[in-house]
Amino acid sequence: MKITRMDEAECYEPDEGWKRTSLCGEERLSVEHFLKPPSHSSPVHSHPHDQVLVVLRGALAVQGGDGVEETLGEGDSAFFPAGEAHRVRNPLETPSAGLDIFAPGRPFSFWTDRRQG
């Protein structure tokens, strides 16, 4: 068993107020908690990992490869297969929170290496 404490986990803030925390960084599976600030949107992107996004608080609008945007509420989830272009947007005027689960695991250096750029 491996325990990760939220207040001791590795964190990164890709944009102001968009905080990501690595809760599990294993080769076969990774889990990242995130806080998304009001009205923030990630760029359209893809990656070689399957992804499940779970809304923990607030709401998130997700757009997949078909270009259709769906708004998810607390407890809802979305699956993005590896390679599918997608984006995630907070449609609210308050922060939203969620979990991103990746398989195989995505190293947290995906974010932290950006510090050096």
Average confidence (pLDDT) per 10 residues, the chain, 117 residues: 96 92 96 97 94 98 95 98 97 98 90 62
pLDDT, residue 15, reads: 87
What confidence score (pLDDT) does residue 78 get? Answer: 98
pTM above 0.85, yes or no: yes
Q: Is 18 exposed, middle or buried (0-12, 13-18, 19+ CB in 10 A)?
A: middle
All residues at 6 or more sequence positions from 87 whose CB lies less than 8 Å from its CB, including other chains: 41, 42, 43, 44, 45, 62, 63
**How much is the pLDDT for 115?**
55
Contacts with 17 (C-beta within 8 Å, 6 or more apart), sequence order: 35, 36, 37, 40, 95
Question: What pLDDT, on the 0 to 100 scale, is given for residue 109?
Answer: 81
Amino acid letter, 75: G
pLDDT of residue 58: 98
Best CATH choice for the domain 11-102 from the list 3.40.109.10, 2.60.120.10, 3.30.428.10, 2.40.110.10: 2.60.120.10
